[in-house]
Each structure stands twice: as C-alpha cells, then as structure tokens.
Amino acid sequence: MRLLNTHSLKLKSFFGDDIPPYAILSHTWGKTEDEVTFQDMMAEDRSVAEGKAGYKKIRGACQYAQKYMFEWIWIDSCCINKESSAELSEAINSMYVYYEDAQVCYVYLEDAVRSEDIRDERSGFRHCKWFTRGWTLQELLAPSYVVFLDQDWEMIGTRYSLADVISAITSIPVSVFRDGDFDKFSVAQKMSWAAPRQTTRPEDMAYCLFGIFRVSMSPIYGEGGARAFMRLQQEIINISDDRSIFTWVGPYGKNEPRGLLARSPVEFRMSSEVNASKADDIGDTSFSFGNNGLRISLLYPSNQSLLLSPRLQRLRDRHILSAPYSLHLYTAAPSGISRQVLRSICRRLPGSDTSATSQTSWRSFLLRHSNLTYARWS
C-alpha cells in the first residue's frame, strides 16, 4: 500500500510486513476536481495540489496525526493512482483491510461543530453527509478505533462514546459499536444498513460492500448498479448458506417479473430484524452457480432433494421467478410430504397464517404465495 508522510507530505509504497503503523482518514468528497490526486502529489511543482480545496483537508489530517505521533497516514484521494485500473481494482478490494489494519481512523466532518449538542435531533452531527454515503459504511465498521472530528479538527467523540447517537442515525445496533462484532448479524441485516446510503457511481453501491461481506470481485464500471449488486449477491451465496439474502422487498407498486436476487440494497430496507437462517426441520440448503445459473437444493431429513426442474430453470432464465422467498416455495411437493414440513415452509412466507392454511389446500396456498407453477421432487 501507499502511505503519505505526515511531515513531508511525500508518498511512499510499502509491502507486506514492512507496512508501518498508520492512521487513516475517512471523509466525504467535494467536487472531484477539488480533491487532490495521486498525480498532484507526485508532481515536482505542488502548486496545482496546493490550489485545490482538498489540500487543506490533507494538511489538516496530517497535522492532527502528528499530534499523536503518527508518521504515516492513508488518504483515499491521493494514495491511490486511479489512472491505473489494476491499482484501482486492488484498492477497492483491499479498502476494508486498509481501514481494519489502521491504528486509528479519523472521521472528518466538515458539516459538524463540536460546540453543539450532538444529541439534539437538529444538530449538524446528526445530519452530516458522511452518514449518507455508501463508502463510509465500511469506514465506520472496519477500524478498531474511530475518532470523529469537526470542521475545525476538534474532537467530537469516539465511535464507542457516541455509540447511542450513531446507532440512532444509522439504525445499526449499539452492540456493533461497543464490541465491534457484526459477523453475528445476517446478510439481510447488513444489507439494510446500506439501504439508505448513496454513491456517486451506481456500481459503487455494490463495490463498497465487498469488505463487509468478505468477498472479492473485479469492479466493472459501466456494468450498471443492478448488475454489480447481483454479482455481489452471487459471490455472497458462494461463501454463505445464510438464506436471509432472499428476504428483500421490491419497489412498491411495481409488479414486473423479477429474478431471485435483489437489485440494490434499498430492497433490504425492511430486513433489519431478519436473523441468519439456521438448519431446521426442513434441513439445510446448498447453493451453487453454473453455466445454467443458480441451482438450489433443499435437503430434507429423508435425504431427498427438491431441485429446480428444467421448467423452473426456464422460468428463472426469463426472470419469472418473482418471490424473494422462492427458495422455500417449491410447491408441487408430492402428497406424501408431511404437513409438519409444509408448515415449516409456510412460516417463511410474508403474512402467513398457518392456522388459516389448514382450511385450504396446502398446494393451493403455496402456489398462491410463491408465484411458481411447477416444481419437481427428485
């Protein structure tokens, strides 16, 4: 990684075990042309860099880090050569680790003032732009120690001391900020934390979540936000059996056919209380991706597997599988399947009422809620 010397403001590359202790800056970008780039810092004539509004922010971060004996700091605007696609891809996939390995993360809030009461709902702190950006979610969660600074580089507090306020702003549980452990939360819950956030480039709404879900993939700017987010979900499915990834809700009033995967974190906005799935009486679930797309197998105690039939695969390819709970809703189960197992399936349906379903056909009930017309028991 490349670090900035807090005294000389010169950049230097480090590798592996040679990386020294460093601070890291988290901030929101102004206009792109106002931020100091790698090329600006490497130029012999620093006049271009010094003439940009972002240069004052770099100097302020370095001076603050010096007070706590940090010789090196990492700042995303100038420590990455964004003209190199290979370096940019590596940085995006390594960003979470950069923040995780930092000794301290300084969060600079140019729209906050230390003197105000931050617990007042009208305070600038509660309405800072920093809390609305996609990239800053991992910058809030990854570091072991986070310090919030106001527009004059005065300390407002730490992530620990402000845990209750930050939780109220972000809807992230206080325990995450107190013990730093968010691996116990489900995929759906983590997605819900990103739901209200935004990024300048649509693809970044997926790319900024790589580290939070411990996945790596090549960023492809131009692919579009929906496709990037679907690729992210595929990578998550490859390493996790947590079925909460399918508990998304589409936009209100839009009933067009949908696939199995969500198109953005916004569709997880109602999933903040969805816990990670666990093996139960319908058995465990395995997922895999191949040339024909997603293949799902629900493993029952009888060791039988309910698989996507050729027709369901065609429906999926035509984006007709629309229910986010579809993995639990293969409806043409044979009459020999136990009512207990079917009840277990029905409990996973939105608004299900298992007592009411006993008055109707199990098959009709499932078909009505799943939007699927055929499944095969194999």
Contact between 260 and 327 under an 8 Å Cβ cutoff? The reply is yes
Q: What type of residue sits at position 322?
A: S
Say whether 107 sits in a helix, a strand or coil: strand
d(CA 353, CA 368): 13
What are the structure tokens assigned to 333, written together? 């189960």
d(CA 104, CA 21): 9
Q: What is the pLDDT of residue 246?
A: 87
Q: What is the pLDDT of residue 363?
A: 41
Q: Nearest Cα to 260, choosing from 220, 216, 290, 293?
A: 293
Q: What is the pLDDT of residue 132?
A: 97
DSSP 336-375: TS-HHHHHHHHTTSTT--HHHHTTS-HHHHHHHHH-----
Q: Nearest Cα to 260, choosing from 276, 245, 240, 279?
A: 245
Per-residue pLDDT of the chain in tens (378 residues, 90 and over written 9): 999 999 999 999 999 889 999 999 999 998 888 999 999 999 989 999 999 999 999 999 999 999 999 999 999 999 999 999 999 999 999 999 999 999 999 999 999 999 999 988 889 999 999 999 999 999 999 999 999 999 999 999 999 999 999 999 999 999 999 888 888 899 999 999 999 999 999 999 999 999 999 999 999 999 999 999 999 999 999 888 888 898 898 877 777 777 788 999 999 999 998 888 764 433 444 444 444 444 444 333 333 333 334 444 444 444 333 333 333 333 333 333 334 444 444 444 434 443 333 333 434 444 444 433 333 222
Kind plus residue range of the DSSP H or E element containing 166: helix 163-170
Q: What is the pLDDT of residue 235?
A: 94
Partners of 106 in the beta sheet? 25, 147
Q: What is the pLDDT of residue 249?
A: 87
pTM of the model: 0.76
Q: What is the pLDDT of residue 181?
A: 84
Could you tell me the CA-to-CA distances from 328 to 163, 185, 242, 353 in Å, in that order?
37, 21, 13, 16
The greatest distance separating any two alpha carbons of the chain, rounded to the nearest whole angstrom, comes to: 81
